[in-house]
């Protein structure tokens, strides 16, 4: 039986309530941390665990925590990123609505470790019903003495605030999130200064993803080394994967990092295979921002070895033949999928979500959407494919925040691996624009 | 409640309580942080974020009205124009489309007789296209206020519309 760190008790009836969560061993990590450990010791365990940020960038959490500036007399803040808006990603939504106390417990431990007395959970506004669930959980925890003044008689005070967003993907970017939390438009900030030095209200701030924060209870209970023993290499622990698309069993799965991609797609324990009568064409493995890979390259590395669900294995081969684990939004496409249409759809998303501060992103995302729209709708020119590659290249690396890169990669990778399909749209517009038409040329389906 | 303004809009007593509680969440002098939550509260009461309502919030937070307008227009959830009784926010993003989201959307539009951004003549439904709602495993998806409607099919859409038309 694979180790479950976050979802072990998720199917216990009533787990959303304090009492049931507590009966399953909940809040023992808060007791242990606050009563028997110093904040530095908690940070040390998180460092030892090797857990990497689960919001997409994969930055080691313990290291991020140790960068937090600690000037005298200035408050420090922890902000949980529950903006979850990356297409294909729905794990934080699932975790918060089913087992809200896991996040609350993690918030208490993490806030204690960082010396924060007021911490925020920024939830995308569309999830207002989840906000109500979290607020209820906070009330319960407060009533039991796990939040508020002098928690468990230890002298430590903590208040949790749940903040709704207003609908904007860019507010998942941590500095845009902080701007939004200050009541402003979600325009990402120039870095440096980094949030660890000047974050919320210009005070030192740590921003972490829901899933990252939720791991801390287990780490405190079992120790960082036990966590690091799970997984593979520098991909320690477990990861929640949001599986969607043409599979038999879409849903959120907690996997030990290092599971072969092939098993994840075909085993009954996880996705349960491609829907009956169809074949695997492509996968976007880590949320819409990461490069798309064709069937053969998602299952196997360029050297023929099996590809694994880990940070290193998914990125093996760089962007030529690899991709990224990202947020774990695993979107599976069978042979009925038109890659051009999907790429246009994603390009429209990034254009819609660009905050508009940097010209390469603001103009480039709109330009890519327009060109992809005309290819998909039978009006493409022969030069359009190279034009897209060129625009994507000019956005990448030339913007304030990584949304520019996130917009460029899906387009560049789709052309890299499915160029024939784009050409077919341009040379056979009549055929390609028939309802439901999909390129059936030479390509490896599995 | 005393107020010097000519605003015709005010929060109901319980929402006013709630608003005060929200403003008190933030550190001293950082009350502007309450802006997004208060705009949600306004929309919940009025159905949209009307100019009068936004001015009322500006006054409440002691900020310039423009600071409210620029925020309300940045975020997609705030309706800066009047809307119908039920606003259907339909996900148009890739993963939902893979699950047949485009066909179901076409059916919904036909059923309502309107396009994105429009309101039915009886004022009952407004249709709005939105991006990914973080429910990709249960697509196609749309949202009405706080409720998510998932695994949509043409039949399911008809049922929902019938129900809400009663
Ligand atoms: C455009 C954009 C959107 C992002 N959206 C999210 C998000 O929804 N949730 C999240 O946790 N991180 C998101 N991130 C990453 C955050 O900026 C940040 O790295 C993360 O919250 C840090 O937490 P972690 O280290 O625990 O992963 C996004 C980044 C970018 C550039
Ligand atoms: S890259 Fe795009 S989203 Fe990011 S700051 Fe620049 S314009 Fe805004």
Regarding whether A157 and A128 lie in a shared domain, the answer is yes
Domain boundaries for CATH 1.10.10.1590 within chain B: 13-72
Q: Confirm whether A11 is domain-assigned.
A: no
- d(CA B101, CA A361) in angstroms, rounded, equals 28
Distance A104 CA to ligand 1 centre (A): 19
Q: Closest to B98 (Cβ–Cβ): which among A118, A184, A246?
A: A246
Put simply, the answer to whether B36 touches A165 (Cβ < 8 Å) is yes
User: In this complex, is the C-beta atom of B42 within 8 Å of any C-beta atom belonging to chain A?
Assistant: no
Nearest CA to ligand 1 atom 2: A173
**Most B CBs within 10 Å: which of A139, A167, A172, A357, as the mutation test of the B interface?**
A167
Residue B143, chain A, CB below 8 Å: the answer is: yes
Neighbours of A322 (CB within 10 A): 22
Is B14 strand, coil or helix?
helix
Indicate if A105 and A206 belong to the same structural domain.
Answer: yes
Please check whether residue A440 lies inside any domain of the structure. Answer: no
Interface A-B, measured as beta-carbon pairs within 8 A, has a size of 141
Do A382 and A329 belong to one domain? no
- Tell me if A3 is assigned to some domain: no
Same structural domain, A171 and A290:
no
Which run of H or of E encompasses A109? helix A100-114
Judge whether A224 lies within some domain: yes
A51 lies in a domain?
yes
Dihedral of CA A104/A109/A114/A117: which sign?
A: positive
Statement to judge: residues A23 and A156 lie in one domain: yes
Q: Does residue A386 lie within any of the structural domains?
A: yes
CATH code of the domain made up of B86-165: 3.40.30.10
A422 and A282 co-located in one domain: no
pLDDT tens per residue across span B27-85:
999 999 999 999 999 999 999 999 999 999 999 999 999 999 999 999 999 999 999 99
With beta carbons under 8 A apart, name residues in chain B contacting A329.
Answer: 136
Answer whether CATH 2.60.40.10 is correct for domain B13-72.
Answer: no
Do A345 and A274 share a structural domain? no
Regarding whether A294 and A186 lie in a shared domain, the answer is: no
Q: Are A83 and A178 in the same domain?
A: yes
* Residue A299 φ/ψ, nearest 5 degrees: -80, -35
Residues A224 and A135 in one domain: yes
Question: Start-end ranges of CATH 3.40.30.10 in chain B?
Answer: 86-165
Mutation target vs A (from B69, B102, B136, B140; most A CBs, 10 A cutoff): B136
Nearest to A236 by CA among A102, A407, A414, A47: A47
- Which three-class secondary structure state does DSSP give residue A290? coil
Cite the DSSP H helix spans in A223-294.
Answer: 224-228, 261-266
Asked whether the whole model's pTM tops 0.90, one would answer yes
Binary contact (B131, A353; C-beta < 8 A): yes
Q: Cβ atoms within 10 A of the Cβ of A390, count?
A: 11
Q: Do A331 and B78 touch (CB under 8 A)?
A: no
Q: Are residues A222 and A351 in the same domain?
A: no
- Whether residue B19 lies within 8 A of chain A, CB to CB, comes out as no
- Specify if A5 maps to a domain: no
Residue nearest atom 29 in ligand 1 by C-alpha distance:
A173
Q: The CATH number of the domain where A205 resides is what?
A: 3.40.50.11540
> For residue A261, what is the domain's CATH number?
3.10.20.600
Contact B94 A180 (CB under 8 A): no
- Most distant CA pair in chain A, distance: 74
Point out the domain boundary residue: A286, A319, A334: A334
Which helix (DSSP H) or strand (DSSP E) does residue B160 occupy?
helix B154-165
What is the token pair recorded at A282? 């492509």
A308 and A347 inside one domain: no
Nearest Cα of chain B lies from the Cα of A175 at a distance, in angstroms, of 15
**Which is nearest to A327 in space by CA: A4, A49, A10, A87?**
A87
Answer whether residue A195 is part of any domain: yes
Query: What whole-number distance in Å separates Cα of residue A171 and Cα of residue A85?
Result: 9
Q: Which helix (H) or strand (E) holds A242?
A: strand A238-245
Interface check for B141 against chain A (CB to CB < 8 A): the answer is no
Question: Whole domain around residue A422: which residue ranges?
Answer: 339-428
Sign of the Cα pseudo-torsion (A255, A256, A258, A260, in order):
negative
The domain total for chain A is 3
Residue with CA at minimum distance from ligand 1 atom 20: A55
Distance (angstroms) between ligand 1 centre and the Cα of A414 equals 23
Residue A57: CB partners within 8 Å, gap ≥ 6? none
**pLDDT per residue of chain A (446 residues) written in tens, 0 to 9:** 578 999 999 999 999 999 999 999 999 999 999 999 999 999 999 999 999 999 999 999 999 999 999 999 999 999 999 999 999 999 999 999 999 999 999 999 999 999 999 999 999 999 999 999 999 999 999 999 999 999 999 999 999 999 999 999 999 999 999 999 999 999 999 999 999 999 999 999 999 999 999 999 999 999 999 999 999 999 999 999 999 999 999 999 999 999 999 999 999 999 999 999 999 999 999 999 999 999 999 999 999 999 999 999 999 999 999 999 999 999 999 999 999 999 999 999 999 999 999 999 999 999 999 999 999 999 999 999 999 999 999 999 999 999 999 999 999 999 999 999 999 999 999 999 998 899 988 777 88
Are A86 and A326 contacting, i.e. CB atoms less than 8 angstroms apart? yes
Eight-class DSSP state of A113: H
């Amino acid at each position: 039986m694979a180790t479950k760190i976050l979802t072990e008790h998720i199917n216990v009836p009533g787990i959303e309530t304090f009492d049931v969560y507590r009966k399953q061993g909940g809040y023992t990590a808060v007791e242990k941390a606050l009563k028997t450990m110093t904040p530095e010791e908690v940070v040390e365990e998180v460092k030892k665990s090797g857990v990497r940020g689960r919001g997409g960038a994969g930055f080691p959490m313990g290291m991020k925590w140790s960068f937090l500036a600690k000037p005298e007399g200035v408050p420090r803040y922890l902000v949980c990123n529950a903006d979850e808006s990356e297409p294909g990603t729905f794990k934080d939504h699932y975790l918060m609505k089913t087992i809200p106390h896991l996040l609350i417990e993690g918030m208490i431990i993490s806030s204690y470790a960082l010396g924060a007395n007021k911490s925020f959970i920024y939830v995308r506004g569309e999830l207002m019903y989840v906000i109500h669930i979290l607020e209820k959980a906070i009330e319960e925890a407060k009533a039991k003495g796990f939040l508020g003044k002098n928690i468990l008689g230890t002298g430590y005070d903590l208040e949790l605030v749940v903040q709704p967003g207003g609908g904007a993907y860019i507010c998942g970017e941590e500095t845009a999130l902080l701007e939004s939390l200050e009541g402003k438009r979600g325009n990402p900030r120039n870095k440096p200064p980094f949030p660890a030095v000047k974050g919320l209200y210009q005070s030192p701030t740590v921003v972490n993803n829901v899933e990252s924060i939720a791991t801390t209870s287990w780490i405190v209970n079992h120790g960082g080394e036990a966590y690091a023993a799970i997984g593979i290499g520098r991909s320690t622990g477990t990861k929640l994967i949001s599986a969607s698309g043409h599979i038999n069993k879409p849903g959120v799965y907690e996997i030990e990092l290092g599971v072969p991609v092939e098993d994840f797609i075909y085993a009954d324990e996880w996705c349960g295979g491609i829907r009956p009568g169809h074949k695997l064409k492509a996968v976007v493995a880590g949320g819409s921002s990461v490069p798309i890979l064709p069937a053969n390259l998602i299952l196997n590395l360029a050297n023929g070895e099996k590809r694994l669900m880990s940070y290193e294995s998914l990125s093996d081969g760089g962007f030529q033949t690899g991709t990224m684990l990202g947020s774990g939004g695993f979107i599976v496409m069978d042979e009925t999928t038109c890659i051009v249409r999907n790429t246009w759809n994603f390009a429209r998303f990034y254009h819609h979500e660009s905050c508009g501060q940097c010209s390469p992103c603001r103009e480039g995302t709109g330009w890519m959407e327009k060109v992809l729209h005309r290819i998909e709708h039978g009006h493409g020119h022969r030069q359009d494919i190279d034009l897209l590659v060129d625009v994507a290249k000019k956005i990448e690396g030339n913007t304030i925040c990584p949304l520019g890169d996130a917009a460029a990669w899906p387009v560049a990778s789709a052309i890299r691996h499915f160029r024939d399909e784009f050409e077919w749209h341009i040379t056979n517009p009549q055929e390609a624009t028939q309802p439901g038409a999909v390129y059936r040329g030479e390509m490896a389906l599995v | 409640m005393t107020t010097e303004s000519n605003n015709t809009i005010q929060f109901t007593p319980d929402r006013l309580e709630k608003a005060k509680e929200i403003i008190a969440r933030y550190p001293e002098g950082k009350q502007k942080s309450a802006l997004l939550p208060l705009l949600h509260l306004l929309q919940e009461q009025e159905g949209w974020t009307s100019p009068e309502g936004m001015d009322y919030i500006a006054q409440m937070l002691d900020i310039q009205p423009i600071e409210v307008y620029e925020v309300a227009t940045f975020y997609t959830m705030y309706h800066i124009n009047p809307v119908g009784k039920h606003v259907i926010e339909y996900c148009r993003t890739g993963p939902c489309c893979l699950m047949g989201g485009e066909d179901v959307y076409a059916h919904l539009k036909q059923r309502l007789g309107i396009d994105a951004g429009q309101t039915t003549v009886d004022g009952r439904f407004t249709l709005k296209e939105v991006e990914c709602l973080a429910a990709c495993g249960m697509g196609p998806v749309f949202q009405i206020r706080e409720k998510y409607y998932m695994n949509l099919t043409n039949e399911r859409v008809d049922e929902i519309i019938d129900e809400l038309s009663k």
